[in-house]
Amino acid sequence: MKILVTGYTGQLGFDVIRELKARNVECIGTTRNEFSLTDTEKMQAFVKAYKPDAVIHCAAYTAVDKAEDEVELCDQINHLATKELANVCKEINAKMIYISTDYVFAGSGEDFYEVNDEKAPQNVYGKSKLDGELAVQEILDKYFIVRISWVFGNNGKNFIKTMLNLAKTHDKLTVVNDQIGSPTYTVDLAKLLCDMALSDKYGIYHATNEGICSWYDFACEIFKQADIKINVKPVPSTAFPTKAKRPHNSRMSKKCLDEAGFNRLPAWKDASLRYLQELNM
Ligand SMILES: NC(=O)c1ccc[n+]([C@@H]2O[C@H](COP(=O)([O-])OP(=O)(O)OC[C@H]3O[C@@H](n4cnc5c(N)ncnc54)[C@H](OP(=O)(O)O)[C@@H]3O)[C@@H](O)[C@H]2O)c1
């Protein structure tokens, strides 16, 4: 078994490679040095030459607000490059794992989204990731689409790091409490993605750490776990206008994981505690 992972410099790609290496699976993590996702020819030539049995596609255009101004570039990376990667996977008969997002849904109401619920992305990034999903489904039979949300990992920027940094210079913070979802720790997700890559239980899945919270709840828990005394005040999203609209409801059902016999990820509070330990907090 040989696996190619895109986005090695990103939060998720880095931990997926770490997990594969820990399992002694032959693998390569690609960066812009090997190919840019915008250079189809170079990307396809590289993948064909390496000839993996599976591709875990972690690389993406992830600047959600900037995407509102860079619509074409976002589409090129998240949609068109995904399509071309799927085409080369088909050609070499490789499985493909495409990482997607809660942003493919409208994000209204309070119900947990099932994998096949209606899609209605509310921003450019969400639309580009959905178009990536649709391309994968159209081209391949051997695919996994894994929707995740609120990602934190060692290798990159994330909400936990932002909160810890803000706490160095503030004794009061306001955090939104009307967006509800689930954090996803890359170390935990990497284990599931490797299990998937080594299986043939293809399909669409939701995979986040267990439990739901608001960003406000998440911030309070981080400060509690890191033993940081700070005054955190809950505020509505309207207090932080953003260029790209954010979903209020990111609850996603994990029924599909259960039905396929995959383990759910641990509780998010357990994950954030382990992450803080990894950061030496
Ligand atoms: N972060 C979240 O909260 C979140 C939520 C839901 C879903 N997701 C999805 O989860 C996956 C992993 O996210 P992440 O947080 O690990 O992302 P990340 O830390 O932002 O990493 C993105 C990766 O993609 C690479 N990349 C971007 N444009 C590229 C290009 N043109 N050519 C080659 N590589 C390129 C980046 O390389 P450089 O370092 O060189 O730029 C980086 O390695 C993505 O599919 C994302 O859409 C993320």
Domain boundaries, the chain: 2-157+182-210+250-266
Please answer whether residues 182 and 191 qualify as being in contact, where contact means their C-beta atoms are separated by less than 8 angstroms. Answer: no
CA of 227 to the centre of ligand 1 (A): 30
**Both ends of the chain: CA-CA distance in Å?**
37
In sequence order, which residues have a C-beta less than 8 Å from that of residue 26 and are 6 or more positions away? Answer: 1, 2, 3
CA of 78 to the centre of ligand 1 (A): 10
Beta strand pairing call for 2-6 and 26-30: parallel
Six-digit token string for 188: 């935990």
Q: What pLDDT score does 267 carry?
A: 98
**Angle subtended by helix axes 81-91 and 40-50, to nearest 10:** 30
- The span from the CA of 118 to the CA of 246, in Å, is 17
Answer yes or no: is pLDDT of 281 > 80: no
Confidence of residue 280 (pLDDT cuts 50, 70, 90): confident
Does 58 contact ligand 1 (Cβ within 6 A)?
yes
Does 12 contact ligand 1 (Cβ within 6 A)?
yes
Answer yes or no: is pLDDT of 156 > 90: no
- The span from the CA of 94 to the CA of 223, in Å, is 43
Cα 18 to the chain's mean position, in Å?
Answer: 16
Confidence of residue 275 (pLDDT cuts 50, 70, 90): very high
Q: Report which of 243, 244, 219 is spatially closest to residue 232, judged by C-alpha positions.
A: 219
Does 144 contact ligand 1 (Cβ within 6 A)?
no
Answer yes or no: is pLDDT of 217 > 90: yes
What Å distances lie between residue 123 and 38, 100, 189, 194, 230, CA to CA? 21, 14, 25, 30, 33
Q: What pLDDT score does 8 carry?
A: 98
Answer yes or no: is pLDDT of 98 > 80: yes
Cα 71 to the chain's mean position, in Å?
Answer: 20
Is 2-157+182-210+250-266 a domain of CATH 3.40.50.720?
A: yes
Choose the residue to mutate in 40, 151, 250 for probing ligand 1, maximizing ligand atoms within 8 Å of C-beta: 151
Does 37 contact ligand 1 (Cβ within 6 A)?
yes
Active site residue 125: yes
Instruction: Please give the number of the atom of ligand 1 that sits closest to the Cα of 11.
Output: 16
